[in-house]
Amino acid sequence: MSILQLSATELSDRIRSGEIKVTETLDAVFGVIEAKESLLHCYVTLDREKAYQKAALVQRRIDAGELTGPLAGVPFAIKDNLCTQGTRTTCSSKILENFVPAYNAEAVTRLEAAGAVIIGKTNMDEFAMGSTTETSYYGVTRNPHGTDHVPGGSSGGSAAAVAAGECFAALGSDTGGSIRQPASFCGVVGMKPTYGTVSRYGLIAYGSSLDQIGPLTKNVRDCAAVLETIAAHDPKDSTSVARQDTDFTVGLDQDVRGLKIGIPRDYFGEGLDGEVAAAVRKAADVLEVRGAVLEEFDLSLVDYAIPAYYTIASAEASSNLERFDGVKYGYRTGNYEELHQMYKKTRSEGFGPEVKRRILLGSFVLSSGYYDAYYLKALRVKALIKKAFNQAFQRYDCILGPVAPTTAPRLGESLADPIKMYLGDIYTIAVNLAGLPAISVPCGMDAGGLPIGVQLIGDCYQEKKLLRAARQLEAGLGRKDGQGLTDGSEFGEVCHETV
C-alpha cells in the first residue's frame, strides 16, 4: 500500500512504529504537489524547506519517544487565515500579501506540538467571504474531482489539498459552512465544532461570533484525532470554553443503535438537487439499517437563517476588517497625500469586490438609524433560530440533511449573482448562528462524478455523537479507512454488516 493511500492516523501509526520516515511522507506529498498543484492551485504559500527542517526535528522526537500522539509526523495544510509564525499569512487578500505573523494561531501551535508537519498555507475565498474559493486574490482552486468545477469555499484550498493527496489533513475555518461545504464538494470529511471548542486566537476574524476552526480529513477517525488535538480551553480567547469531553477518538466505533435522528423536511424542499437528495436519503438509510431511529420533522425558520447571517456576519466583518489600513502591516497604496486618502486607496486597492460588498453592507446595517432595524433584528432572529434547534434537540440526538443544495458548480458560474451564491449556504448557515457542531461526510457521487456530502448536526458539545454516527455512515457506505477518493475507489452499495 502506498503512503498516499494511508489516512493521517494510519500514516502516523507507521511512522511511530518506524516503518516509514517522516521525510518519506514529505517526499510523497511533494511528489503529488509537483504533479497536480500547477493545475489545482490548492496553496497560496508552500514552504518545502521549512517542512523538511521540521520533519527532521519531528523524526528525532518520535525516535526519542517524545511524540506518541496520533498525528506525529503527519504533513498538514493550514488555511491561510490562520496565523503561522514566520510564514506569510494572506487571507488570500492583496491587503495581506506581505504579512508575516510573529505568532502562531493557537490551533497551529497545538498541531505542531503534536508533531504535525505544516507544509503550506491553503487558498481560500478572500477573508473567508465566499463559497467557491474564487474570490481569492491569488487565483482559483480547482476541484480535484472535476477540474472545471470549484472546490467550494471558503476553505476550498484545504478541502482540495486533502482530496488530491497534496497533504494528509488540513485545518479550515467555518463561519457559515466554509469547512463543511468544500468538504462535501471535494469528497472529504469536514467538521465545524461547537463554538468555543477551538481557540480563535490567531484566526484572522471574519464574523467573530460565528467563526470556528475545524479539520478537513480523509476520514472520520482522522477528523476525531485532529479535533482532539486542537480543541482546548485557551485563556487568550475569551470565548473559548473549558470542556472536559474533548477526547473525541474515544468511543468512536460504538454503534448507533437507538440514536434518534431527525430529518428536517424543510431541508428537502425546492432548490435541492435530486441526486443530492437521493444520496442523502441513502445515507440516512444506512444509519437506520445500523439501528438509528429516523424521524422527519419541521425545523422551521430555515429561510431566515441566510438574511440573519449576512446581516450579522457583514456587520462584524465591517468592524473586524477596519484594522487593515496600511499603517501597521500589509499593503499600503503607493500613491497618497494625506491620511484619509491613504486609508481609502489602501483599502480600495487591497480588498476585492466581495469583501467590499460585505464591508459596505455591514457598515450600513450598523449605521445610525439602521442598527435596530437590521442588526438587532437579526440578533433577535438568531435567538429564534437557536430556540428552534433547542426544541429539535429535545427530541433528537442529531439532525441529518444535505450540506449543499447541489454538487460543485462550474468555475465562473457563481460570482455573477451574489444572492444566488448566498442561497447555497442554506443548510449550513443556521448551525453557525446557533453555535452548533456539524460534520460533513461523503455519501456519494453525482452522475458527473462530483462528490456529495451528508451533514450531521448535533446539539452543543455533542461532537462525540456526531463522530460516532459519521463513522458508522462511512463504514456502512463501504469506505474503509484510508480509502479517500484519491485512489479512485467508488462508493459501494449499502453495507449491512457492522464494523
Partner 1 sequence: MSVVIDDETIDYVSILAKLDLNEAEKEQAKKDMSRMLDYIDQLNELDTTGVEPMSHVFAVQNVFREDVVTNGDESEAMLANAPAEKQNMFKVPRTVE
Partner 2 sequence: MKQYETVIGLEVHVELATKTKIFCGCSTAFGGAPNTHTCPVCTGMPGSLPVLNRQVVEYALAVGLATNCAVHQYCKFDRKNYFYPDNPQNYQISQLYLPICHDGYVEIETSFGSKRVGIHEIHMEEDAGKLIHDEWEDCSLVDYNRSGVPLIEIVSEPDMRSAEEVIAYLEKLRLIIQYLGASDCKLQEGSMRADVNLSVREAGTQKLGTRTEMKNLNSFKAIARAIDGERARQIELLGEGKSVIQETRRWDDNKEYSYAMRSKEDAKDYRYFPDPDLTPVFIDDAWIARVRSAQPEFRTEKMARYRREYGIPEYDIEIITGSKHMADLFEAAVAICHQPKKVSNWLMVETLRLLKERELEPEDIRFSPEHLAGLIQMADAGEINSSVAKEVFAVMFEKDVDPLRYVEEHGLRSQNDEGELKALLQEIVSRNPQSVADYRNGKQKAIGFLVGQAMKATSGKADPGLVNRIFKELLS
Cell numbers that stand for 478 in this block? 463501504
Distance CA 287, CA 268 (A): 18
Stretch that binds partner 2, among 93-101, 216-224, 253-261, 264-272 (CB under 8 A): 93-101
Name the binder of 357 from partner 1, partner 2, none, CB < 5-8 A by kind: partner 1
Q: How far is the CB of 260 from partner 1 (least distance, A)?
A: 23
Distance of CA 246 to the CA centre of its chain: 19
C-beta of 305: minimal distance to partner 1 in Å? 10
Q: Is 315 in the site for partner 2 (CB under 8 A)?
A: yes
Cβ atoms of residues 400 and 296 within 8 Å: no
What is the Cα–Cα distance from 143 to 404, expressed in whole angstroms?
16
89 binds partner 2 (CB under 8 A): yes
Cell 498543484 belongs to residue: 37
Q: CA-to-CA distance for 82 and 108, rounded, in angstroms?
A: 8
CB atoms within 10 A of CB 322: 12
Marked catalytic residue, from 154, 155, 240, 314: 154
Question: Which of partner 1, partner 2, none lies near 98, with the C-beta cut-off 5 to 8 A by kind?
Answer: partner 1
- Partner in contact with 374, chosen from partner 2, partner 1, none, beta carbon below 5 to 8 Å by kind: partner 1
Q: Which is nearer to partner 1, 363 or 498 (CB)?
A: 363
Residues in contact with 105: Cβ distance below 8 Å, sequence separation at least 6, in sequence order: 82, 83, 84, 199, 201, 202, 203, 213
Q: Residues 221-234, buried b or exposed e (16+ Cβ, 10 A)?
A: bbbbbbbbbbbbeb
Determine the interface stretch with partner 2 among 214-222, 323-331, 389-397, 441-449 (rule: CB under 8 A). 323-331
Cα–Cα distance for residue pair 480/344, rounded to 1 Å = 53
Q: Does 97 bind partner 2 (CB under 8 A)?
A: no
**CB of 102: closest distance to partner 2 in angstroms?**
7
Whose cell is 489602501? That residue is 346
Q: Applying CB under 8 A, does 204 fall inside the site for partner 2?
A: yes
Which parts of 350-369 interact with partner 2 (CB under 8 A)? Answer: 363, 366-368
- Number of chain positions touching partner 2 (CB under 8 A): 44
CB of 381 to partner 1, least distance (A): 5
Three-state SS for 403-421 is CCCCCCCECCCCCCCHHHH
Could you write out the DSSP letters of every residue in 56-119? HHHHHHHHTT---STTTT-EEEEETTB-BTTB---TT-GGGTT---SS--HHHHHHHHTT-EEE
- 154 catalytic, yes or no? yes
Handedness of CA 343, 347, 348, 354 (dihedral sign): negative
The dihedral sign for the CA sequence 239, 436, 149, 303: negative
Q: State the binding string over 330-349 for partner 2 (x if CB under 8 A, else -).
A: ---------xx--x------
Which of partner 1, partner 2, none binds 409 (CB below 5-8 Å, type-dependent)? none
Q: How far is the CB of 435 from partner 1 (least distance, A)?
A: 3
Catalytic residue among 79, 192, 382, 465: 79
Interacting partner of 105 out of partner 1, partner 2, none (Cβ under 5 to 8 A depending on kind)? partner 2
Within 212-241, which residues bind partner 2 (CB under 8 A)? 235-239
Q: Counting beta carbons within 10 angstroms of the beta carbon of residue 348, is it exposed (0 to 12), middle (13 to 18) or buried (19 or more)?
A: exposed
Q: How far is the CB of 359 from partner 2 (least distance, A)?
A: 11
The residue from 300, 319, 333, 483 that contacts partner 2 (CB under 8 A) is 319
Calpha distance 433→114 (Å, rounded): 31
Residue 100 is a binding residue for partner 2 (CB under 8 A) = no
Whole-number minimum distance, CB 364 to partner 1, in Å?
Answer: 5
- 497 CB-contact burial (10 Å; exposed 0-12 / middle 13-18 / buried 19+): exposed
* 315 vs 470, beta carbon nearer partner 2: 315
> Would you please indicate which residues are annotated as catalytic (active-site) residues?
79, 154, 178
Q: Point out which residues bind partner 2 (CB under 8 A).
A: 82-83, 89, 91, 96, 99, 101-103, 105, 200-205, 207-209, 235-239, 315-316, 318-319, 322-325, 327-329, 339-340, 343, 363, 366-368, 371, 375
